[in-house]
């Protein structure tokens, strides 16, 4: 049986909109208007790398101190946005899918760039599904670097090629491929993430028992 590695934002919960709102407010501090199209490029990458991109786009330079202060401000804004998150906020179909995979004996890991992943999973009451949690606190390199997924496989005690990643971002699918893992894209079907298995719009689009065949090893 293969193992499953889930991304968080955009796969388990729609916190992407809260990241966007928080980054928009940070960008306004230096009179820059962050667009939704640009925000797509911030999905799946670390807080630090997101701010560096924002500064590049807006042509701004900051001292280390100012940079770190803005990172802290962004996180405060984000934490405020997610303070009322509850288990009703998990994305449609994800509970049923996690339940099914767990009962089928599939090991489950989280592979997220977020440093807030445990807070979010607790708020959603989903943390107990995960055998392993690897997030932004555990890695030096953010997606598309495969570090987060490689560490996930190591912590699960399985080879990388025996993991299937669920991802909503371009950076995340690239990271899965670089880790030699198969990937299923969760996205608006207009934006093909080019995963190795297929794209689905949401977990409602596939019955969990139809996912099972991908987890069978063909040896």
Residues in contact with ligand B16 by CB under 6 A are 7-10, 16, 19, 42-47, 50, 75, 78, 112-116, 136, 169
Which string of b and e fits 193-216 if b means at least 16 CB within 10 Å?
bebeeebbeebeeeebeebeeebe
Whether omega before 144 lies within 30 degrees of 0, making that bond cis, reads yes
The one of Mg ion, ligand B16, none whose footprint includes residue 39, by CB under 5 to 8 A per kind, is none
Choosing from 9, 14, 49, 73, which is the catalytic residue? Answer: 9
50 binds, among Mg ion, ligand B16, none (CB under 5 to 8 A by kind): ligand B16
CA distance 143 to 165: 13
Closer residue to ligand B16 in complex, CB, 9/147 = 9
Which lies closer to Mg ion via its Cβ, residue 113 or residue 156? Answer: 113
User: Is 37 or 216 the residue whose CB approaches ligand B16 more closely?
Assistant: 37
76 is catalytic: no
The answer to whether residues 185 and 167 touch, using CB atoms and an 8 Å cutoff, is yes
CA quadruple 190, 192, 197, 201: dihedral sign: negative
Instruction: Name the binder of 112 from ligand B16, Mg ion, none, CB < 5-8 A by kind.
Output: ligand B16
> Is 97 within 8 Å of 208 (Cβ atoms)?
yes
Please tell me whether residue 166 adopts helix, strand or coil conformation. Answer: strand
Interface positions with Mg ion (CB under 5 A): 7, 9-10, 44, 168-169
Task: Give the nearest distance from C-beta 15 to Mg ion in angstroms.
Answer: 9
Cβ proximity to ligand B16, 115 vs 201, nearer residue: 115
Collapse the DSSP code of 1 into the 3-class scheme (helix H, G, I; strand E, B; otherwise coil) and give the result. Answer: coil
**Among ligand B16, Mg ion, none, what binds residue 114 when CB lies within 5 to 8 Å by partner kind?**
ligand B16
Q: Which listed residue (7, 49, 76, 131) is catalytic?
A: 7
9 is catalytic: yes
Q: Output the smallest distance, CB 19 to ligand B16, in A.
A: 4
Which residues are CB-contacts of 202 (< 8 A; sequence separation ≥ 6)?
91, 92, 93, 186
Give me the least distance between CB of 118 and ligand B16, in Å please: 11
CB 162 within 8 A of CB 63: no
Active site residues: 7, 9
């Amino acid at each position: 049986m293969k193992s499953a590695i889930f991304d968080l934002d955009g796969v388990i919960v729609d916190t992407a909109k809260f990241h966007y709102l928080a980054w928009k407010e940070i960008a306004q501090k230096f009179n820059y208007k962050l667009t939704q199209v640009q925000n797509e490029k911030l999905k799946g990458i670390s807080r630090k790398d997101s701010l560096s991109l924002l500064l590049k786009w807006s042509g701004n330079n900051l001292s280390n101190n100012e940079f770190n202060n803005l990172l802290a401000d962004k996180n405060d804004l984000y934490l405020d946005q997610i303070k009322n998150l509850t288990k009703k906020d998990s994305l449609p179909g994800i509970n049923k899918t996690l339940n099914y995979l767990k009962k089928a004996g599939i090991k489950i890991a989280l592979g997220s760039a977020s440093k807030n992943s445990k807070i979010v999973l607790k708020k959603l009451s989903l943390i107990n599904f995960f055998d392993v949690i690897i997030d932004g606190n555990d890695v030096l390199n953010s997606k598309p670097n495969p570090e987060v997924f490689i560490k996930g496989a190591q912590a699960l005690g399985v080879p990388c090629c025996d993991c299937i990643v669920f991802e909503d971002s371009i950076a995340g699918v690239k990271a899965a491929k670089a880790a030699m893992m198969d990937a299923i894209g969760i996205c608006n079907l207009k934006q093909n993430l080019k995963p190795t298995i297929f794209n689905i719009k949401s977990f409602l689009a596939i019955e969990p028992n139809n996912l099972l065949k991908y987890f069978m090893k063909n040896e």
